[in-house]
Chains A and B, each alone.
Chain A
Amino acid sequence: MQLWAEVAEQDGAASQSAMLLLVQPSMDVEQEVIRAYESLRLPVHLYLAAVLGDTSEAEDICQEVFLRLFVYCCGRGMVAPERVRSWVFRVGHNLAIDRVRTRKFRRELDGDDPLPELLQLPDAGLTPEEAVLEGERLQAVQRRLAQLSSQERHCLYLRAEGFRYREIAEILGITNSSVAEFLRRAIRKLTRDSHA
């Protein structure tokens, strides 16, 4: 609820005018939301999986995010296309963090096996030796990722999504310099370990 209020607040005057001018019919919004879901589902899911360390829970929250987008847009009209992406990630992030907090679910991706099922898939075109090497390489990355703090990991994944530092700061509710610092530490940890 707190996050929800936050969102509404951020929408500010625009949402108030929308209240009075009752915009598009929900059918159009529904189609827009479906379109947004189709294009953003995978990145959001992946990010949420990274935050939660659980793909099925991430999937659940991912759907929830887009349903919220529909509800949010119903009375106000569709969010501007350039804002949809950050909106979705912001709400998703907040939902995931809420989930983590309320369920006392504090596994910070340092778990022994955060996304094991994803790494079991060998590439079709690889020889057995190459597949083994590939697996080792991925496991090394996973080990290094596990050493990141949750903030570092969030920033890393969001950056990987192509968000600029400013956007990441907005999504996570932190400052730009914090984002830069978290990213620097994250990359350093990943890099240093790779040399170790």
Chain B
Amino acid sequence: MRNLFQSADRQRPWHPREDDLLLYIDGELPVRRHARIGAHLKACWACRVKAEKLESTIAAFMDYRSRASAGLGGSTVDDAFRLRLRTLARQQSSRQSRRRFVAGAWRLAALANVRVPAMAAAGVLMVALLVLAWKYFAPVPVSAGELLANATLAESARANDASVVLHRSLLLEKRRSGDAKPIERRRIDVWHAGKSGVTVRRLYDESGHLLAAEWRRRDGSAEILSPQMQPRLEPQTESPLAMLNRPEDLWRLDPSAASFAQLAREASGAKVARQGENFRVSLGPELAMGHFLKAALTIRRNGLRATGIDLRLAEPAAPAQPGVSTQEVVYDYSIAEDSYQQEPWEQAQAGVFAPDASLLPPEQSPTPIATPDLQIETTWLLDRIGATLGGEITVSMGSDGRLHVEGIVQNEVRKREILTALKPVRSNPAIQIDILSYSQALRRTVATAHGVTSGTSGVPGGNSNLSALADISEFLASQSPPPPESELRGRVMRFSAEISANSSNAARHAWVLKHLAEMASPGSGENLSAEARRRYLSMAAEHAREVEQSTRRLKLELDPIFFAGLPPPGESPPPPELSPAIDRLLDAALRNDKAIQSAFGISMGVESPVSIRTAEFRESVLETEELACGIEKQAGGECLEPGPNAKTSP
């Protein structure tokens, strides 16, 4: 068989198949076949041409392929790839570190040959540790506004707890910016009672001397006491920013979320960072306003309590250096909590909320100033019981700004009556009341320098003006029917006493009017309250009516006796202004009274230049009546015009 094949081969020459030729060209044939085909190709032209054809086809394709590849790629492609690779590498490195951690743990576990439950436990522990570490180091998820709002809520909850008293000590340090050593150290002691809402803040120097203290009430009003200055009253809480403008007042700035929130709002924006057990909210230099450069608040994470505030302020350099007075020096202030305690309300010392004696000024309170209203009210109260008449009691403004109510009255009963009437104003610190009874005055042997003692009750003397009385007697006797002789004298005395009483009554009310006019000068009248003005006018009108009516009665009594033969008076001048009218009224009333008293001998040793029998006296009486009527009208009263009939009536 073999020989047969060999002979057939020899008869028909062998040629490799086309597939084999390609495999030959590609070097993919087994060694022996490859060698055989190689030998054949050397011998066979036909096969060599076939192989070359394959080669040329491959060459054509390779040429095409190289042409096609020439247009591909470039440096920009490289750059794009490098960038993508770098990004990926960054992501990968963080992933890798995590993977390395886990793999490390696995390796450790493998080394320790721990069993599965123990490994699971270790895994859980590790996860717990990771969570803790994450919580500790992770960036703060809250915003500054949120944090401050929550801390403010926590603060107000603590401050409003009525069962406790909060006590905290703060250290205030001032240093030049950049210096480590403080140039000023202060201690601030703060007590807050939740029950009353009062906060007391005391400032001590390094040696423990009390420098100043502040009492702040729930409504925000505050009183600041310091030995160096007058007590200062603040009606409402100042904005923290305003406080920053007065570094000497910084001790009153509370390291609290509430005040810092205000600052942050005014500075619009803040940043939060986590620092161990604390949050730190800071206002950076980009939010600087005026002298205020920087601020940071430290809030304890546990309980959200603000424990410190740091401030950086630019202050004008000390005026002691005139050359550099325009420069500013930057100071760092830090107010940090030193201790914090909550005490039950019952156990807290009550003394901590009381004002310190060393801070109170020597005088309990500054001298109060009496107001015009007070003066009117006091006069009105006295007027109602007739104590202003005749200078029984004087009401005057003292040089110390207080209202002096002074006088000597007849007895203790009257004194008590006056004091009772003054009850509504007696407690006012601006009023000083000094009223003595006669007996007290005598015991004090005080000369009546201030007040005029009751002038009305002068002791009648025996020096009687017989001619005037004779005129009255004659007039009464001429009446029909004539009184009996036995009664005539009594009637004359009663008649003269009546005339005298009317006259002095007019004079006394004129005095009060004058006093009222002095009390409310045109300027001060504008400052009066509506109530005081009403009282003032009603008093003026009443006294004017009294003057007018007394004078009219006097005129009616005197006319038939003394003025019967006198001609009727001329036209009266137009009524003057109120103030001069009162002056003139007083003059006239006093003149009339003097004449009357002189005529009827009630006032001892007084010689009047005017006789009651003259037309001049009569004019004076009529003028008094007219003036009083005019004043009454101006004060809003009603006055019946003393018509020509009144003047001319016999």
Contacts and interface: CB of A to CB of B under 8 A. Distances in A.
A binds B: yes
Interface of A: 19-20, 22, 26-27, 30, 33-34, 37-38, 41-43, 45-46, 49, 55, 59, 63, 66-67, 70-71, 74-75, 115, 117-119, 121, 137-138, 141-142, 145, 156-157, 159-160, 164-165, 180-181, 183-184, 187-188, 190-191, 194
Contact of B28 (A27, A156, A180): A180
Given A70-B85, A194-B57, A138 B64 contact: yes
A156 B61 contact: yes
B88 A70 contact: yes
A49 B64 CA distance: 14
Interface string B83-113: 0111011001100100110010011000000
Given A118-B68, A118-B70, 6 more contacts: A33-B85, A37-B78, A42-B72, A46-B65, A63-B77, A180-B28
B81 A37 contact: yes
A181 B73 CA distance: 32
B4 interface: no
Interface stretch (B18-26, B183-191, B503-511): B18-26
Contact of A184 (B22, B53, B70, B82): B22
B79 to A, nearest CB: 11
Given A41-B77, A138-B67, A141-B64, A30 B85 contact: yes
Contacts of B26: 159, 165, 183
B403 to A, nearest CB: 95
Contacts of B67: 118-119, 121, 138
Nearest to A141: B64
B71 A30 contact: no
A42 B69 contact: yes
Contacts of A42: 69, 72-73
B369 interface: no
Q: Which 4 A-B pairs have the closest CB atoms?
A: A141-B64, A118-B68, A191-B57, A46-B69
A19 B96 CA distance: 11
A27 B90 CA distance: 10
Contacts of A165: 26, 28
Given A26-B96, A66-B85, A191-B53, A141 B80 contact: no
A190 B57 contact: yes
Contact of A70 (B61, B89, B103): B89
B62 interface: yes
A141 B72 contact: no
Contacts of A137: 60
Contacts of A138: 63-64, 67
25 contacts: A19-B103, A20-B107, A30-B85, A30-B86, A33-B85, A37-B81, A41-B73, A42-B72, A42-B73, A49-B68, A55-B71, A59-B72, A63-B80, A74-B92, A118-B68, A118-B70, A118-B71, A141-B61, A142-B64, A145-B61, A180-B19, A180-B28, A187-B54, A187-B57, A187-B58
Interface in B263-278: none
A145 B61 CA distance: 9
Nearest to B104: A22
Interface residues of B, number: 41
Contacts of A59: 72-73, 77
A67 B103 contact: no
A156 B62 CA distance: 10
A165 to B, nearest CB: 5
Interface string B5-22: 000000000000011001
Contact of A157 (B19, B54, B65, B85): B65
Contact of A67 (B19, B64, B88, B99): B88
A70 to B, nearest CB: 6
Contacts of B96: 26, 74-75
A180 B21 CA distance: 11
B18 A184 contact: yes
Given A75-B96, A141-B61, A164-B28, A187 B22 contact: yes
Interface residues of A, dominant DSSP = helix
B60 A190 contact: yes
Given A26-B93, A142-B64, A145-B61, A67 B85 contact: yes
A133 to B, nearest CB: 13
Given A42-B73, A165-B26, A184-B22, A190 B85 contact: no
Nearest to A138: B64
Contacts of A74: 92, 96
B73 A22 contact: no
A20 B103 contact: yes
A165 B30 CA distance: 13
A145 B64 contact: yes
Nearest to A43: B69
A22 B103 contact: yes
Contacts of A20: 103, 106-107
A41 B78 CA distance: 9
A128 B481 CA distance: 173
A37 B70 CA distance: 17
A160 B62 contact: yes
A183 B27 CA distance: 13
Nearest to A184: B19
Contacts of A164: 28
A45 B73 contact: yes
A141 B60 contact: yes
Nearest to B100: A22
B112 to A, nearest CB: 15
Task: Kindly name the residue among A37, A71, A159, A191 whose own CB sees the greatest number of chain B CB atoms within 10 A.
Answer: A191
Given A20-B107, A49-B72, A138-B67, A30 B89 contact: yes
A137 B103 CA distance: 60
A146 to B, nearest CB: 12
Contact of A34 (B22, B28, B82): B82
A165 B107 CA distance: 42
Nearest to B25: A187
Nearest to B23: A180
Contacts of B69: 42-43, 45-46, 118
A66 B57 CA distance: 32
A177 to B, nearest CB: 10
Contacts of A115: 68
B58 to A, nearest CB: 7
A75 to B, nearest CB: 7
Contacts of A188: 18
Contacts of B68: 46, 49, 115, 118-119
